[in-house]
Amino acid sequence: MTETPEVEPARTDPPRWLIIAVAVLAAAALAFGIGRFTAFGSSAAPATPTTTSADAGFARDMQLHHAQAVEMAMILYPKTETDVLRTLAYDLATGQSAQSGQMYEWLAMWGLPQAGEPIMSWIPEENGGHAGHGGTGEQPTDAEMRESMGMASEAEMEELRAATGQAADCLFLELMIRHHEGAVHMVDAILELGQEARVKQVASGMKATQSAEIDAMESLQASLACH
């Protein structure tokens, strides 16, 4: 009896954007792992950051920043009908929650409070910070500092909660692109000002991931005819 040869199913190559996204996430995961390893794997006892240091400020402010990104992602996740956006929202929520936990852990390990210093006070004006308005010495408000971080206002968050369909998708993309751009600014500052190698390693991974996500979200804006 002649055996019938098995026919292999047709193979469909994954889209190029998915390959790029997987590669970026793998690099970010490696940076995350390096950050965790170096946080606990060193037997040396170097000086820990002070509460007013750039490393501590970054850890606090990026937790605040990530928290809003997770909230936006979880607002969109259950109501979007766009599969790619649902996947993106899930990845943002889980990935940034994990990073927030790591930054919380850094501050605890350094013996520093999780809050207390003014938002973004760790970035001097010469590095793009907002220590005062035009040299007058007047301190910016909390809302102004959040805006400088690319964060959404409470009115914009309410609008996102109320939006549905394509309007929700497009508003999410608009807000999250701006949010990511603010994060990249913060990462650029810590890469220049920070002293902790593990913080810089993880920050570099954040920049790679969020820059790739900005490109992906801009492509989604075009495909959804958001503009």
Q: 37-83: per-residue pLDDT in tens?
A: 444 444 455 689 999 999 999 999 999 999 999 999 999 999 999 99
Q: What is the pLDDT of residue 46?
A: 64
Q: What is the pLDDT of residue 140?
A: 84
One-letter amino acid for residue 121 of the chain: S
Note down the domain range covering 76.
Answer: 55-115+152-227
Place of tokens 């996740």: 77
Tell me if 218 is assigned to some domain: yes
Q: What is the pLDDT of residue 12?
A: 41
pLDDT tens digit sequence for 165-217: 999 999 999 999 999 999 999 999 999 999 999 999 999 999 999 999 999 99
Tell me if 199 is assigned to some domain: yes
Tell me if 16 is assigned to some domain: no
Instruction: Please say whether the dihedral angle defined by the alpha carbons of residues 212, 185, 65 and 36, taken in this order, is positive or negative.
Output: positive
When pLDDT is averaged across residues 10-34 and rounded to a whole number, the result is 44
Tell me if 123 is assigned to some domain: no
Q: What is the CATH number of the domain that holds 160?
A: 1.20.1260.10
When pLDDT is averaged across residues 1-21 and rounded to a whole number, the result is 45
Query: Euclidean distance between the first and final Cα of the chain, in Å?
Result: 64
What is the tally of structural domains in the chain?
Answer: 1
Give me 77's structure tokens. Answer: 């996740």
Closest CA to 223 of 165, 167, 170, 176: 170
DSSP string, the chain: -PPPPPPPPPP-PPPHHHHHHHHHHHHHHHHHHHHHHHHHH----PPPPPTTSHHHHHHHHHHHHHHHHHHHHHHHTTT---HHHHHHHHHHHHHHHHHHHHHHHHHHHHT--SS-SPTTTTS-GGGT--SSSTTS-PPPPHHHHHHHTTPPPHHHHHHHHH--HHHHHHHHHHHHHHHHHHHHHHHHHHHHH---HHHHHHHHHHHHHHHHHHHHHHHHHHHTT--
pLDDT tens digit sequence for 128-167: 676 543 445 577 888 999 999 999 999 999 999 999 999 9
Tell me if 2 is assigned to some domain: no
> Is the per-residue pLDDT at 9 higher than 60?
no
Q: What is the pLDDT of residue 42?
A: 43
Give me 67's structure tokens. Answer: 């928290």
Range name among 94-103, 104-113, 141-150, 185-194 with the lowest pLDDT average? 141-150
Tell me if 134 is assigned to some domain: no
Distance CA 51, CA 54 (A): 9
Phi-psi region of 2 (alpha: psi -120 to 50; beta: other; left: phi over 0): beta
Q: How confident is the model at residue 13 (pLDDT cuts 50, 70, 90)?
A: very low
Tell me if 110 is assigned to some domain: yes
Tell me if 195 is assigned to some domain: yes
> Is the per-residue pLDDT at 35 higher than 70?
no
